[in-house]
Chains A and B, each alone.
Chain A
């Protein structure tokens, strides 16, 4: 739609000089989207909403929070008791963090299942992994701010991981701490970075969307759209579908915020931080547990740290590990089985991460960790070479089996205007 098609003369006047309205129109109105997206494609907008909720509630919380070891805990309790509706703002912030991770994990599993990371969407996927990494750093530092027992000891354990790096490890830890132990300087820099990083995430989200709009969304069939008969405009079809998803998301969030606000937290974090008393079990937030399990599965500290970061690093090279030209698991019978095994394995890692590192749990953690890497490094490349895929439909509009298997040409279809 060109600028002169807007009804309001004011909008036309502005858009002629500053084309923000036509830009928005292209991005969220005209934007042609595959007509066959299922509800697994709702989690992108939900992740965006989560980020917005986190930033808004976070800015309000920062108005009443004091980043000092002597006052942080009681300033949070001030928010809970004396600030008008402070308890609600804080419970929303706390629990939306968990919901953000649930949504992003589902978003990532959707990408894994439907092969959304494959050409030409490799950078789109990589930007997503960058966002995930930034989220983990932000969430970790946010958990430290209330300065409860788990805040303090979680910070101690996680920052100490960097000491495993040869030669420079100790210096890196000192730099992170701003001193020689987790203390006031640590709390201050974590608060500063915790406030900064969401805006960096927002910036990468913009890049993520730019990359998305270059080729448009992948879809459950995983073949490229071949023309207007395969697509519908984003508005009103996907705006209303996203509104419905948002309604369900907010309903679930409200149930947890108002009736189970502490279910996903740890009771120890209502005990003020005490450097002289270590909790019986130091566990990170639930969304880190799979990676925590990988860390503890290795008897060597450096090895554990490397594997833990490797578990994320492997996601960066995923587009080049999975060489199968077929994207969607619907047409990859073997991959589909391995996907669900991988999914179950990831849940198992999360469960094991919350268990004490002893006895059978250690052995199971090692098996699950090994499987995590075997899936990416061995199974995916091998499947790409040997798997017999099912015939792909000719197009989205005519989901009739065309009897031909994928051709490399379709993976590099013409870029779409956006």
Chain B
């Protein structure tokens, strides 16, 4: 009885549409390497996804929460990260003369944003604000599948659907009208490892990278989780046996 009530409550909580699901939108799904209790990130895919972000998205979208040092998670070593950071310029200062100055970034720096502020970003994008992507995979219901679908679902509006100027039709977006022009068409980038560059493949790689950015501790979380659940299961069994034994003289 008790476990039944608990299960019903937990289920009703976890499956209620208030905590997920995006209404009228049917999302494409994919078997992500990071899903499931033993899930891990695909380092090669994340490196490719980072390349896509760099070459396609970074012109408009910031990732303010990510520091260059974090790219160690993608499999880069220290000197590679140093070299990578040095390609970016960040503002520092004030120096001894009281002036702000630009210098090459170091691994401890956060990724610089493409626009100085939100107003500049709006001014450059038809009034729409390109959201920061650091947490985007957790900030949308069913994040990874949503991003994957959004990136690969642009199409011509069906007959009779009016698309205002500066808007684009995307069935994966709630309301179907999105201010972001189609970012990926397939073959947008060339990967060193020769991986596929179809629009689906590139979208999946980018999603992998964005999921890591939103939840960088996912792998260690699941690893500890497996150990914790294993330990606690044994604890449950032994505490039950102890309870049975102690209660034997009452029953």
Is there an interface contact between A88 and B135, defined as CB atoms closer than 8 Å? Answer: no
Which of B16, B37, B224, B235 is the most central at the interface, judged by chain A CB atoms within 10 Å of its CB?
Answer: B16
Within 8 A of B (CB), among A208-237: 232, 236-237
Classify chain B's interface size: 35 or more
- In the complex, what distance in Å separates the CA atom of A262 from the CA atom of B211? 14
Binds A, one of B137-145, B148-156, B187-195, B200-208: B137-145
Interface contact A98-B13, CB-CB below 8 Å: yes
B17 within 8 A of A: yes
CA distance A39 to B16 in the complex (A): 27
B123 is an interface residue with CB less than 8 A from chain A: no
Query: Does any Cβ of A come within 8 Å of B12's Cβ?
Result: yes
Distance in angstroms from B35 CB to nearest chain A CB is 10
Judged by DSSP, the binding face of A is helix
Contacts A240-B242, A244-B240, A266-B19: A286 and B13 contacting too (C-beta < 8 A)?
A: yes
Query: Is B116 an interface position by the 8 A CB rule?
Result: no
- The answer to the question of B222 belonging to the interface, with a C-beta cut-off of 8 Å to chain A, is yes
Inter-chain contact A243/B243, CB cutoff 8 Å: yes
Give the contacts of B157-204 with A (CB-CB under 8 A). 174
Contact of B229 among A42, A91, A258 (CB under 8 A): A258
B221 touches A (CB below 8 Å):
yes
**Nearest opposing residue in chain B for A277, CB measure:** B129
With A39-B2, A257-B225 already in contact, the answer to whether A264 and B65 are too (CB < 8 A) is: no
Q: Do residues A77 and B225 form an inter-chain contact, with CB atoms below 8 A?
A: no
Q: Check B232–A259 contact: CB distance below 8 A.
A: no
| Contact (A243, B239) CB under 8 Å given A39-B2, A81-B217 | yes
A87 near B235 with CB under 8 A, answer: no
A385 → chain B, closest Cβ, in Å? 29
From known contacts A40-B2, A102-B6, A259-B222, infer whether A247 and B17 are also in contact, taking CB-CB under 8 Å: no
Contact call B229/A254, Cβ cutoff below 8 A: yes
Known pairs A243-B239, A250-B232, A250-B235; A286 contacts B18 (CB<8 A): yes
A-side contacts of B5, CB under 8 Å: 106, 109
User: Across the interface, do A254 and B225 meet the contact criterion of CB distance under 8 Å?
Assistant: yes
A283 at interface by CB-CB < 8 Å: yes
Closest A-chain residue to B7, C-beta based? A252
A269's nearest neighbour on chain B, judged by CB, is: B139
Q: Which of B143, B216, B217, B229 contacts A251 (CB 8 A)?
A: B229
CB-defined contacts of B16 to chain A, threshold 8 Å: 286, 351, 354
Considering the chains assembled together, what is the distance between the CA atoms of A40 and B233 in angstroms?
21
Residues in A neighbouring B242, C-beta threshold 8 A: 240, 243-244
CB B6 to nearest CB in A, in angstroms, measures 7
Q: Indicate which residue in A42, A74, A109, A265 contacts B19 across the interface (CB closer than 8 Å).
A: A265
- Least Cβ–Cβ distance between A273 and chain B, in angstroms: 13
Give min CB distance, A272 to chain B, whole Å.
8
* Closest Cβ–Cβ distance, residue A116 to chain B (whole Å): 16
* Cα A250 to Cα B236 with chains together (Å): 9
Q: Are A258 and B216 in contact (CB under 8 A)?
A: no
Asked if B9 lies at the interface with its beta carbon under 8 angstroms from chain A, I say yes
CB of B228 within 8 A of CB of A258, answer yes
| Extra pairs beyond A237-B250, A243-B242, A271-B135 (11, CB < 8 Å) | A241-B243, A244-B239, A250-B235, A254-B229, A263-B14, A266-B18, A266-B19, A267-B139, A286-B18, A351-B12, A354-B16
Residues of B whose CB lies within 8 Å of any CB of A are 1-2, 5-6, 8-10, 12-14, 16-20, 37, 65, 70, 131, 134-135, 138-141, 143, 174, 214, 216-217, 221-222, 224-226, 228-229, 232-233, 235-236, 239-240, 242-243, 246-247, 250
The 9 closest A-B pairs by CB, nearest first: A258-B225, A354-B18, A270-B139, A251-B232, A244-B239, A247-B236, A87-B217, A254-B228, A270-B135
